[in-house]
Amino acid sequence: MKYFAFLLCVLPVSAESLRYSINWASGLSLGEATLRADKGKEAWDFEVTMDASIPGFALRDRYHSGATLDLCSLQLEKSFTHGNRKADEKITFDQQNHTASRETQNGGGKSDLSVSTCAKDALTFMQFARSELAQGRLAPQQTVVFGAIYNVRIEYTGAQRIKVGDQAADADRILATIKGPTTDLTVEIFFARDAARTPLLARIPLSLGTFTVELIR
């Protein structure tokens, strides 16, 4: 479920909040996700919250990210409940020294990661990718921090007309390949062909099947 947060973020002019339905492969709704972005005078503030359930298995996630105005990460907070598994951690970026400190709450330990120049957490990276797409460019392949370090490559496959809810929409189809310590998947994402490149729909292949995340109009 964490890849929903990884993939569906927005870069509005100043502030935006969007709601998405999280659906089983059959079309059955599992819950909703809310995406929020706010631009302050000195920094961006991003948040993704999700509340979904598979029978007998609760899924509740919250991801909060801060970044400079030029989209270099400052910090990332992650908390989630997946059934009986719970996690709560914070990653603080030192952009000058190219490091990120990952600290698990409640005495879970601390570790340091080496990161690239203007390193990005997953939420901030997607803001950058959206901004590049709006300017007619693709974000270059790079590493992204989301607890572990992931290599992300984006491929544009052309324009396509899709159905979102009961409405048709023109969209740009993007394939995002994500590789990490235990992850190797390709996600299909459709962005509206508006100025903000609003994310409309994503199809995410997981072990339980392909899930969809769809904008609620």
Taken in order 5, 216, 32, 63, the sign of the CA dihedral is: positive
Cβ atoms within 10 A of the Cβ of 152, count? 23
Distance CA 126, CA 133 (A): 10
Q: Is the pLDDT of residue 37 over 80?
A: yes
Cβ atoms within 10 A of the Cβ of 60, count? 16
Rg (C-alpha) for the chain, rounded Å, is: 17
Nearest to 214 by CA among 57, 82, 25: 25
Instruction: Report pLDDT for 6.
Output: 53
Distance CA 151, CA 183 (A): 10
Average pLDDT estimate for 40-53: 91
Distance CA 124, CA 139 (A): 12
Instruction: Report pLDDT for 43.
Output: 95
Instruction: Report pLDDT for 196.
Output: 86
Q: Is the pLDDT of residue 55 over 80?
A: no
Instruction: Report pLDDT for 27.
Output: 78
What's the predicted TM-score (pTM) here?
A: 0.87
Nearest to 90 by CA among 115, 129, 114, 62: 62
Contacts of 148 by beta carbon, 8 Å cutoff, 6+ apart: 180, 181
Name the band, by pLDDT with cuts 50, 70 and 90, for residue 107.
Answer: low
Distance CA 29, CA 156 (A): 28
Distance CA 144, CA 123 (A): 9
Burial (CB count within 10 angstroms: exposed 0-12, middle 13-18, buried 19+), residue 125: buried
Average pLDDT estimate for 153-180: 95
Strand ranges (E), the chain:
15-23, 29-39, 43-54, 57-68, 73-82, 85-94, 99-104, 109-114, 142-146, 148-164, 167-180, 183-192, 199-206, 209-215
Name the band, by pLDDT with cuts 50, 70 and 90, for residue 10.
Answer: very low
